[in-house]
A and B are shown apart, each in its own frame.
Chain A
């Protein structure tokens, strides 16, 4: 379980609180999607989970964040990183190796994973991201999207209890983004991993997330099941969140009293709803 209790944070260089009054409980095995406008504090929230805040970025830290029983303020970054695997937003600067296989070995070696387990872990993590064929490629020769998959694979190999991913599909085309979320969701289900993922594509996010968190100006506006959050399409649009057209369309029908079913997120869903209305 991950708990934020009255958490607020100000970077040392900044004048204002960047996130404030965060109260949130994430149960084990939950797939959480965080979205919000640029600069709203999404990455900062992920730093609070993996311990980068307060351990790497100094600043004013209020309240507490507890990850699997560890208070992030008291626990060391190393202890936290055994629990939480992170893929940061800046993909290029987190690559430590020149070859894909070495990138996966890096964490495994650091955490002293037993030698005989290592080959299987590498193979499994690459397969989990569908990039078994990239094993011997130089990282330099990969596309942005392939690098992102490598970065995810290199934390999956560590089998963390919690996965924190900051915009892991930013450089992927829509089809590959879906594929990555599919693979991630399957992996998380099989391993009981808690996943926290920052993502701009809200339609994609709501297909996979158990909980959708909308951040605005450092505050949590909504934290609920995707259907419940998407029912507030107008407010979301006002916050700069990209709500799927299908959702706004069907919500409008609902507002007019023409439709009473659940919120839809896809064109197919909107078609079904429209058929229902027209029947």
Chain B
């Protein structure tokens, strides 16, 4: 399996799409998810996103991501469950009650986050990093510095995760046991953040220097070698995402 958010080579429909269009579509899709509260519609969007991922042969990567997002959205869902006393009361709470409405709200939150996250993450799995940067610079007129910084940050996430794993492994080898309660795990991990931070700062610093000695400062919008023409598929995808957003807005207004 590919590392977290690392490009997976391929020739799927998504791989071949224009990088800027992919990014815009993913953002439109995410906005649509946050606009609507219709659980059925969200379910359709989520199914669509999963189908897209599986269709590109990225089922496993997406499953991993879905789990990570699920863990995060679960926290949100629990909070919603306990603080949204609507619908038929199911369980009485000291400060109100837990009702069918609370359940619906929690479910909606999970579906929404999952549906919004999948296409955004997919962009990074199906697009070479330099294509995202260069296309964003050429076609969206994002200043190169910002585009490069953004993609580099994403690129560094797996590096940092790897570092953290390495540091923990080294500690385990020295007899520190990371199993046990979450609190214990956190307490053991806190002191490791310092070496992680130091090594991250050093790495980002040397990355910046290496980029600079390879002419980073000379870069202009015209520098890019590749062109990123828009094809029919790109227009179709954009149209589809605009339609989805339109539907989400319509549902929000009428519903």
In Å, the complex CA distance between A96 and B214 comes to: 10
B206 contact from A77, A93, A109, Cβ within 8 A: A93
B169 at the interface (CB under 8 A from A): no
B224 cross-chain contacts in A, Cβ below 8 A: 109
- Chain B interface main SS type: helix
| Cβ proximity bits B203-226 to A, threshold 8 Å, 1 near / 0 not | 110110111111111111011111
**Are A105 and B210 touching (Cβ within 8 A)?**
no
What B residues does A99 contact at CB under 8 A? 7, 9, 128, 130
B215 touches A110 (CB 8 A): yes
A52 within 8 A of B: yes
Q: Which chain B residues border A51 with CB–CB below 8 Å?
A: 213
Chain A residues with CB below 8 A from B203, complex form: 90, 92-93
Q: Which of B129, B207, B215 contacts A97 (CB 8 A)?
A: B129
- Looking at the complex, which one of B131, B152, B210, B220 makes contact with A88 (CB distance below 8 Å)? B210
Please name all residues of chain B whose beta carbon is closer than 8 Å to the beta carbon of A112 when the two chains form the complex: 218, 220, 222-223
Per-residue CB proximity of A87-102 to B under 8 Å, as 1/0? Answer: 0101011101111001
User: How many residues of chain B have a CB within 8 Å of chain A?
Assistant: 36
Supposing A90-B206, A92-B159, A106-B130 touch, asked if A138 and B217 sit within 8 A by C-beta, the answer is no
Select which of B148, B209, B219, B226 is within 8 A of A52 by beta carbon. B209
Residue picked from B212, B213, B216, B224, most chain A C-beta under 10 Å: B213
Is B230 on the interface with A (CB-CB < 8 A)? Answer: no
A138 to B15, CA, bound (A): 14
Tell me the nearest residue of chain B to A97, going by C-beta. Answer: B130
Those of A226-242 within 8 Å (CB) of chain B: none
A252 at the interface (CB under 8 A from B): no
Which residue of B is nearest A109, CB measured? B223
> Could you jot down 27 A-B contacts, CB within 8 Å?
A56-B209, A77-B212, A81-B212, A81-B213, A81-B214, A88-B209, A92-B203, A93-B203, A93-B210, A96-B152, A96-B211, A96-B214, A97-B128, A97-B130, A98-B128, A105-B130, A105-B225, A105-B226, A108-B225, A109-B223, A110-B214, A110-B216, A111-B215, A136-B9, A138-B6, A138-B8, A138-B9
Interface on B for A, CB 8 Å cutoff? 2-3, 6-9, 128-131, 134, 148, 152, 155, 159, 203-204, 206-207, 209-220, 222-226
